[in-house]
Amino acid sequence: MISHSHRCISIHIPKSAGNSVNRAFGVDWQDHKDIARHRAELPADVFNSYFKFAVVRNPWDRLLSDYNYQLRKSRPAESKLHLYDERGTRRSFAQWVEAVLAQSHPYPASSWGGDVSPGIHRFSPQLDWITIDGIQAVDYVARFESLDDDFRVVAQAAGLECSRLPRRNRRFHFHYSRYYDSSTRDAVGQFYARDIAAFNYEFEDRRIRFPWFGCKPAQRALIPTQVFPAEHPRLAAVVTGGGTSPKS
């Protein structure tokens, strides 16, 4: 998403609140683009001077959200990515995860609203969306899990009057851990290992346990945060002015 009036670029990683961000900036739908794609398309002075940010999400939660999205699409079956096998049978979540991770990009980017660099696909690790030649190329990384607070930083840096993020495409489901077994949990953890390490994510197990059956009670794992360097002058002004410290 590009907002020239606010001189900013948002990297819309699929299933990471991108539609809500667009709405906050008063921008209609724009294709999903990674940061390298934006750099290739924009004049150097525009790309270098605009405030650039992205929202990242816990990989296990993000993948479950995408599965639910494919389920509820009101479109032909062939547009529901990986949802049906070669016999036309709808895959369970575990089967869908296996299919996504085994062959994550058999679909053209245009089929899911993407206009991306070679090698980027809908299910790419989030780091691939925001790095160029392995170097992080956005000024600020917000977390989906703390988006209300983090978007205030974005709003201040972008000069956006509205600091509350409108909610779009929200659907109720139980905590993501209830949908995973040990096999799918580990497979997602391995596929998105770089994201998990870079953004300090963990699998939070909130499944209901019954101690009288010999199981331990569920425990919530805390996700630590890190301070992201305030290199962009507009972001630095927010931080030095007493705003919330950005998180990576």
Asked if residue 1 has pLDDT above 90, the reply is yes
Alpha-carbon distance of 10 to 21, in angstroms, equals 8
DSSP state, 47?
Answer: H
Asked if residue 72 has pLDDT above 70, the reply is yes
pLDDT score, position 212: 45
Q: Can you tell me the mean pLDDT for 82-100?
A: 96
Answer yes or no: pTM beyond 0.85. Answer: no
Look-up of token digits 């983090």? 150
Asked if residue 11 has pLDDT above 80, the reply is yes
Q: Can you tell me the mean pLDDT for 149-178?
A: 81
Asked if residues 12 and 148 have their Cβ atoms less than 8 Å apart, the reply is no
Q: Can you tell me the mean pLDDT for 154-164?
A: 86
The residue ranking higher by pLDDT, 208 or 27, is 27
pLDDT score, position 71: 94
Backbone angles phi and psi of 141, in degrees to 5: -120, 115
In terms of Cα–Cα distance, which of 146, 164, 142 is closest to 155?
164
131 strand-pairing partners: 136
